[in-house]
Chain A
Amino acid sequence: EAGVVQSPRYKIIEKKQPVAFWCNPISGHNTLYWYRQNLGQGPELLIRYENEEAVDDSQLPKDRFSAERLKGVDSTLKIQPAELGDSAVYLCASSLGGGATDTQYFGPGTRLTVL
């Protein structure tokens, strides 16, 4: 069974440029998460989807970040414009549901460098 797929794996951009990340969750997983992870830190939740509905986006900086999950499968996370402090690894994870026993499975992440 294929795992969570993310692209691109690496992205280098100049500040003020836009950038987008794509995620394809494990087949059949209804819940999708976007996390940001800085070096030496744990993941920080940005947004959680239940099917196509964003059920928790309280940590998403909405002035520059946006996300969508069309048809409840693939998802895209966008930053516009990017700032130096956005340099991090952006992880996508999925789970069957959003409950306590639903293990989250992570993709390989996108390492973003903003110059």
Chain B
Amino acid sequence: GQNIDQPTEMTATEGAIVQINCTYQTSGFNGLFWYQQHAGEAPTFLSYNVLDGLEEKGRFSSFLSRSKGYSYLLLKELQMKDSASYLCAVMDSNYQLIWGAGTKLIIKP
């Protein structure tokens, strides 16, 4: 079967750095997406990785290792507004997105 694993919840301090991990087992691989979802709102696109390595976009970076079936989202200089759920999703060989359950990130002052 297809499976995406990510921690259920993480807590971090304002101004700090946090890394959210995602491991996956899917039927084929056509890229990995990270989305941010604030409570009661729609998911919004953060990043897309299809090749191994690190993609940096402002305070957010995303890393991919296809051989290990592993990705992480790195958030720097955390702000209170970063409190949200972060969803990892993999596009499989049928171009269907397989979603993880999301990691709820709690930022404390």
Contacts and interface: CB of A to CB of B under 8 A. Distances in A.
Interface in B71-109: 87, 89, 91, 94-97, 99-102
A43 interface: yes
B7 interface: no
A51 to B, nearest CB: 15
Contacts of A14: none
Interface string A82-115: 0000000001000000111101111111000000
Interface in A44-70: 44-45, 48, 56
Q: Is the contact region of chain A dominated by helix, strand, or loop, or is it mixed?
A: loop
Contact of B31 (A41, A100, A108, A109): A100
A28 interface: no
B95 A103 contact: no
A104 B37 CA distance: 14
Given A99-B95, A100-B91, A100-B95, A42 B42 contact: no
B95 A43 contact: no
Contacts, number: 48
B42 A41 contact: no
B31 A43 contact: no
Bin chain B's interface residue count: 20 to 34
Given A56-B94, A101-B31, A41 B44 contact: no
A106 B101 CA distance: 17
Interface of B: 4, 8, 30-31, 33, 41-45, 48, 50, 87, 89, 91, 94-97, 99-102
Interface of A: 4, 40-45, 48, 56, 91, 98-101, 103-109
Given A42-B99, A48-B96, A56-B96, 17 more contacts: A41-B101, A42-B4, A42-B87, A43-B97, A45-B97, A56-B94, A91-B42, A91-B43, A98-B95, A99-B95, A100-B50, A100-B91, A101-B50, A104-B97, A106-B43, A108-B42, A109-B42
